[in-house]
Structure 1
Amino acid sequence: MNDLSLPSVSVILPILNEERDLSNCISAILKQEYSGNIEIILALGPSKDRTTEIATELAKLDSRIKLVNNPSGQTATGLNLAIAKSIYEVICRIDGHSEISSRYIKTAVEIMIKQGAVNVGGLMYADSETGLQRTIAIAMRSKLGVGPSKFHTGGSAGESDTVYLGTFKKSAVIAAGGFDERYIRAQDWELNHRLRKQGGLIWFDPRLLVTYRPRNTLSKLAKQYFQYGRWRRVISRQHSRTVNFRYLAPPFTVIANLFSFLLSILISPIFLIPPLIYLSLVVIGGVVIAKKFIDRLLMPIVLVTMHISWGIGFITSPKNLLKS
Structure 2
Amino acid sequence: MTAQSDALPGVSYVMPVLNEVEHIEAAVRSLTAQDYDGPFEIVLALGPSVDGTNEVIAELSREDPRIKAIANEAGSTPSGLNVAIRASSYPVVIRVDAHSVLPPDYARIAVRTLLETGADNVGGIMKAEGRTPFEKAVAHAYGSPEGLGGTQHHVGGKAGPADTAYLGVFQRHRLVEVGLFDEGIKRGQDWELNRRLRATGGTVWFTPELQVVYRPRSSLRKLIRQFVATGIWRGELARRFGSANSLRYFVPPAAVLGILFGLVTGIVGAATGIPWLLVGFAIPAAYALVVIAASLRAAREGILTGAWYLVVLPCIHFGWGIGFLLGFLGITKNIKQYTGR
Would you call these one fold, judging by a TM-score over 0.5?
A: yes
TM bucket (normalised to shorter chain) is over 0.9
Measured in 2, the distance between the counterparts of 1:220 and 1:129 equals 16
Comparing 154-163 with 33-42, which one deviates more in the overlay?
Answer: 154-163
Taking the TM superposition and a 5 Å limit, the aligned residue runs for 1:1-324 are 5-267=7-269, 268-291=277-300, 292-317=302-327, 318-319=329-330
- Give the letter aligned to residue 112 of structure 1: L
Question: Does the C-alpha gap of structure 1 residues 86 and 321 become closer, same or farther in structure 2, counting only changes over 3 Å?
Answer: farther
- The alignment's C-alpha RMSD in Å is 1.6
Over 6 Å off, 4+ runs? none
User: 1:234·1:321 contact (CA, 8 Å) conserved in 2?
Assistant: no
Paired residues, number: 321
User: 1:97 Cα shift?
Assistant: 1.8
Measured in 2, the distance between the counterparts of 1:120 and 1:35 equals 19
Q: Secondary structure at the match of 2:147?
A: helix
Measured in 2, the distance between the counterparts of 1:10 and 1:197 equals 25
Measured in 1, the distance between the counterparts of 2:193 and 2:245 equals 16
Measured in 1, the distance between the counterparts of 2:246 and 2:24 equals 36
Measured in 1, the distance between the counterparts of 2:123 and 2:169 equals 6
Q: Secondary structure at the match of 1:145?
A: coil
Long gaps (5+) in structure 2: 270-276, 337-341
CA deviations 1:26-47 (Å, max 9, x no partner) are 1111011111001000001000
Measured in 2, the distance between the counterparts of 1:4 and 1:62 equals 27
Q: Secondary structure at the match of 1:269?
A: helix
Measured in 2, the distance between the counterparts of 1:27 and 1:216 equals 21
Long gaps (5+) in structure 1: none
TM-score, normalised relative to structure 1: 0.95
User: For residue 339 of structure 2, what is the aligned residue in structure 1?
Assistant: none
User: 1:4·1:36 contact (CA, 8 Å) conserved in 2?
Assistant: no
Q: Percent identity?
A: 39
Q: Secondary structure at the match of 2:73?
A: coil
Measured in 2, the distance between the counterparts of 1:123 and 1:184 equals 22
Question: Does the C-alpha gap of structure 1 residues 271 and 75 become closer, same or farther in structure 2, counting only changes over 3 Å?
Answer: same
- Give the letter aligned to residue 295 of structure 1: T
User: 1:282 Cα shift?
Assistant: 1.8
CA deviations 1:199-223 (Å, max 9, x no partner) are 1100111221111111122221111
